[in-house]
Each structure stands twice: as structure tokens, then as C-alpha cells.
Amino acid sequence: MIKNNVIVSPSILSADFANLEKEICKVEQAGADWIHVDVMDGHFVPNITIGIPVVKSLRKVTQLPLDVHLMIENPEKYVKDFADAGADIITFHYEAVDIENIKSLIDVIKSFGVKAGMSIKPKTHPDKVLPFLNDLDLLLVMTVEPGFGGQKFMEDCAEKIKFLKPCSPENLIIQVDGGINDTTAKICKEYGANSLVAGNYIYKSDDIKKAIELLRA
């Protein structure tokens, strides 16, 4: 059950990669709703992280939904592999797909029984996503430039939600990612976000349970 109607999705980018099972158990026991998995290819973003085999392994150690954030070029080539590996939500980037192929990519993701998400980078105008709001399960509004954890929250990015929320169907999940802590989470929730990704704030906290509660509060 999602408490307080806010979905908290800790990003394992800030976890200890040598002990991922333990790190996931830790946030699961502390009340996390989803596990956010940041996939980077060194092309769409200047960093390289993890991919399909890791998602497959994580699937065996947690019951929580795996929220896979694809920061990669040509996401259409890989969505089936991520779905087969056990992803529950697959979010691709608007900027990584030709506009005429977006609708069919959303349909393909959904055809695997997976939630379809689309993300926009800080410089992308919110207008661009309007044609897709009724098809998507999740819209991810990046509040930092994708690529690295631990960056500073950009409030003007979160403000896009103020514009998008009234145009969105009731059941669209609006997620934010980047620089989220107890203070910035409040701002995002006021604008209408109902899913919060947090890496550093959760994993660097001395009291993870409290950190997750504060995000929901």
C-alpha cells in the first residue's frame, strides 16, 4: 500500500554496489515503495552504470517494484530485455526517441505488462509531453541534469509540474528525480508530484526509516 499517496523510490545509484542485496533490503525494511534503478550508457549521459543482468539479479532479491530509469540512446532496442529481466516500470527519455515513435514505444512497453514512463531533462519544455499524457503511466520530471547522483535540486524544473498537473489524467504518476530531500520533496509535492526518487538523501542518511518518513510527510 502506498502510504500518504506518495511513492518513495530510493535510487540505488547512491548505494554500495558491492552489497546491493543488503542495500535493497535496508530500504525495503525502512518502508520504500519502489527501487529506482538508474541505467546509463555513456552516450545519452556522460556516465555508465548498470544494465540488464543487474536488473535480473535484483529481481531475485526483492518483491518491491523495480523502477527502471533508462538514460540511454535507442531505448526501443532494450525495453523488452528490461521487461524480461523483471522491470515493473520502464521510463525512457523523451529526448532519446524520435517524436513519431514515442506513442508506439509506450504501447510496446505496456504490451509487456510493465508501466510506461517518460522523462524530460531540465531544458525540455513541458509542452512537449502534452500529447502523451493520456498514454503514459508515469511522467518523470528531472530536477537535475541526468547523469550523476548528489547534484543540486533545480526548482524551476519542478515548477513544470504546476503546468502539467492540471493537464494530466488523475491516475498519471508524476515523479521527480534529482536533489530530492525533505525540503525539496515538500516543494515538489505542493506542485503535484506523487512519486519521489532520492539517492543521496536516503542512502547517506543515518536513519533511513526517518528519511523516508520525512519524504512522505
Please give the backbone phi and psi of residue 90, each rounded to the nearest 5 degrees, phi first.
-125, 120
Task: Kindly state whether residue 69 participates in binding Zn ion, applying the rule CB under 5 A.
Answer: yes
Query: Which region among 85-93, 129-137, 139-147, 156-164 touches ligand DX5 (by CB under 6 A)?
Result: 139-147
Burial class of residue 89 in the structure, from the number of CB atoms within 10 Å of its CB (0-12 exposed, 13-18 middle, 19+ buried) = buried
C-alpha cell at 143: 530536477
Binding partner selected for residue 178 from ligand DX5, Zn ion, none, CB under the kind-specific 5 to 8 Å limit: ligand DX5
Question: Catalytic annotation on 38?
Answer: yes
Query: Which region among 51-59, 103-111, 121-129, 147-155 touches ligand DX5 (by CB under 6 A)?
Result: 147-155
Closest CA to 10 of 56, 49, 67, 58: 67
Query: Which region among 25-33, 57-65, 96-104, 197-205 touches ligand DX5 (by CB under 6 A)?
Result: 197-205
Binding partner selected for residue 150 from Zn ion, ligand DX5, none, CB under the kind-specific 5 to 8 Å limit: ligand DX5
Q: Applying CB under 6 A, what is the total number of residues that bind ligand DX5?
A: 22
Grid cell 530530492 is found at 180
Catalytic residue among 33, 38, 67, 137: 38
Task: Kindly state whether residue 38 participates in binding Zn ion, applying the rule CB under 5 A.
Answer: yes
Which residues in 105-127 are b (16+ Cβ under 10 Å) and which e? Answer: bbebbeeeebbbbbbbbeebebe
Please check whether residue 50 is in contact with residue 78, taking contact to mean a CB–CB distance below 8 angstroms. no
Please state the closest distance from residue 72 (CB atom) to ligand DX5, in A.
12
Active site residues: 38, 177
